[in-house]
Amino acid sequence: FTVLIARISSHSDKLEIIMIFPVILCGGSGTRLWPLSRSSYPKQFVQFEKNRTLFKDTVNRAKKIKNSSEPIIICNDAHRFYAKANLLECDVDGTIIVEPVAKNTAPAIALGALFAEQLDADSVLVVMPSDHAILEEDRFAELLSEAIKLAEKDFLVTLGITPTHPATGFGYIETGTQLDNSGFTIKRFVEKPTLNKAEEMLQSGSYLWNSGIFVFKASAYLSELKKFEKEMYEACEQTWANRKIVNEFCFLDKLAFNTCPSNSIDYAVMERTQKGAVVPLPIKWNDLGAWSAFYDIGSKDKNNNVTKGDVLAVDTHNSYIHSTGRLVSTIGLDNIAVIETKDSVFVSPLSRVQETKNIVEQLKKENRSEAVLHPLVYRPWGSYEGLAHGDRFQVKRIIVQPGEQLSLQLHYHRAEHWIVVEGTAEVQIGDKKELLTENQSTFIPVGSVHRLWNPGKLPLVLIEVQSGSYLGEDDIVRLQDDYKRV
C-alpha cells in the first residue's frame, strides 16, 4: 500500500496522468491440466517452462503497461503463498487480496476496484486472467493503449480475440457500431456455440472470441455494478470496509463476503451495460484450457510432436509429450498426450484431453491426494517437495527461506529425521536448541515439540525422512505460528 500511495503522490503535480492498476485474477483450479495442475496447485503457478509460470508471465506483462502501478492480485487463501513466491521471483511488490470464498469474477473485480478507487478516483483497471498465453506482447500492449483511451471516456471495454477457426470452447462477442479506429460497441455476447453456429459466426467477420480481459475506470465499473447488482455491490463494500492486513496480505471479512451473490462480470455487468465496448486483438492467444492447447501453441519437431523435458519419441507423430523429471519414451504413438509427474502419469488421445476432469472427479471420490496435492507445495516459509513414499515412510526436500521459520509444532503419529544439505538450521526440540550445518542431522521423536528456523542469509535446504503409522499433513498440531495459520 505504501508503494502505491508514494507513486500516486509523485504524480500529484501532473493531473493529466491517470493511474493504471493491473488486476490479476487467479482463482481457477485448472483440473483439465491434471496431473501438472492440482486443486491446491492450479495451472497459473505450474512451471511449464523452466523458471516460468503463466502467473509470472502475466505479472511481467503487467509491468510493461505505461503508468501502471504494482499489480493487484485476487486469489483464494490456499494459493496466496504461491502468488507471493511468484511475485518475489518477478521482483514485484504487488498487493494480494485474499478471498475467503470463491464468488466468481464480478465480486473479485469489485474488490480490486474498491482498492484502486481509494487511491485514485479516476484510476483505470486492466483486468487480466493469470492463466492465459499471449504470444505477441508488443501488439497486445499497443492495442491495450487503445482500450485505455476508451476507458478514460467511461466505456467498459473488453478485448476480443480475432477468431482463427470455428472454436466451440470459447464465448463470442458480436461487434456493433465502430467507435474509433480500434473499438466497437458491443451488440451482444454469445455463449459457447455449436460447430455449425461457430462456422457461421466466423464467416460473418463480425464476431470475436471473449478473452476475459477488461479495461475500465474503477468508478465506472462500481457504478454499473451498483446499478445492476446492488446486493453484490453492498456486500463487496462491506467486505472491503472490514478488511485486515496481516503479514502483507489483505484479508477480507468472511461473514460479509458470504452474503455476496456469486456471478461473472459478463452476466452481472457486461451483458447489461449500455457502456460496453470491445477492442479486437488480432494476435496469437490461448486460454490454455486443455493439453491440446499446449500442443497447438508449441513448437513442433519434424514429426509434428511437441515435447517438453526428457523425452525419447520413436515412430511417434502429432503428439504432446511432457516429462517433469523421468525419461518418457514412446513408440508408435499418433495424436496422443502423455504427461509425467513424480507421482502420476496421464495418457490420452489429444482429442479427449478435455475429459481429464473425469479422472480428477474419480480421484476425489476415492479421497486420493493426487487430486489435490502436487509433489511441490509452497508454504509461507518456503516450500517442500515429495521425493519418495511407501508403507510407514516418506521423504521430502524442504527449503526454508532466509529469516523464516516453521511453526512450533508436534506430531502424534510420526517421527522425523532432518539432514541439512545446504545452509544453516537452528532446531528446537523440547527445551533444547542446536545449530546444524551441511551434512549434520537430528532426530525428532513422536510427540516432541519442535521448530525449525533459518538464521542465515541463504536458503536452507534439508532432507526430511518421516516414519510412522500415519503420515498425513493433518497430523500437525501448531502451538505457535508466525503466519497466523490454524
pLDDT tens digits, residue range 215-259? 999 999 999 999 999 999 999 999 999 999 887 789 998 899 999
CA distance 229 to 268: 7
Lowest mean pLDDT among 6-20, 127-141, 167-181, 451-465: 6-20
How high is the pLDDT of residue 82?
85
pLDDT tens digits, residue range 261-285? 999 999 999 999 999 999 998 888 8
pLDDT(7) > 80: no
Grid cell of 324 as nine digits:
517433469
Q: Are 198 and 210 in contact (CB under 8 A)?
A: no
pLDDT(450) > 50: yes
pLDDT tens digits, residue range 380-403? 899 898 888 888 999 999 999 999
Cross-strand bridge partners of residue 179: none
How high is the pLDDT of residue 41?
82
How high is the pLDDT of residue 40?
78
Written as one string, the DSSP assignment of 202-252 is: HHHS-EEEEEEEEEEEHHHHHHHHHHH-HHHHHHHHHHHHT-EEETTEEE-
pLDDT tens digits, residue range 127-176? 999 988 888 888 888 888 889 999 999 999 999 999 888 888 888 999 99
How high is the pLDDT of residue 132?
87
Lowest mean pLDDT among 3-12, 358-367, 418-427: 3-12
Nearest Cα to 63, choosing from 10, 157, 126, 150? Answer: 126
How would you label 380-396 residue by residue, b for 16+ Cβ within 10 Å and e otherwise?
bbbbbebeeeeeeebbb
Query: Can you list the domains of the chain with their CATH numbers?
Result: 2-286 (3.90.550.10), 291-359 (no CATH), 380-480 (2.60.120.10)
Lowest mean pLDDT among 50-59, 423-432, 462-471: 50-59
How high is the pLDDT of residue 285?
86
CA distance 346 to 99: 32
pLDDT(310) > 90: yes
How high is the pLDDT of residue 308?
93
Q: Reduced to 3 states, what is the DSSP secondary structure of residue 70?
A: coil
CA distance 360 to 210: 27
CA distance 8 to 17: 10
DSSP 268: I
How high is the pLDDT of residue 9?
40
Written as one string, the DSSP assignment of 450-477 is: EEEE--SSS-EEEEEEEEES---TT--E
Nearest Cα to 288, choosing from 49, 10, 454, 20? Answer: 49
CA Rg, the chain, in Å?
24
How high is the pLDDT of residue 29?
66
Nearest Cα to 74, choosing from 47, 42, 111? Answer: 111
**Residue 422: how many other CB atoms lie within 10 Å:** 13
Question: Where is pLDDT greater, at 346 or 17?
Answer: 346
CA distance 430 to 442: 13
pLDDT(47) > 60: yes
Place of cell 518477478: 90
Q: At what angle do helices 105-119 and 218-228 cross, to 10 degrees?
A: 130
Cross-strand bridge partners of residue 322: 308, 339
Q: Residues 85-103: what's their mean pLDDT?
A: 89
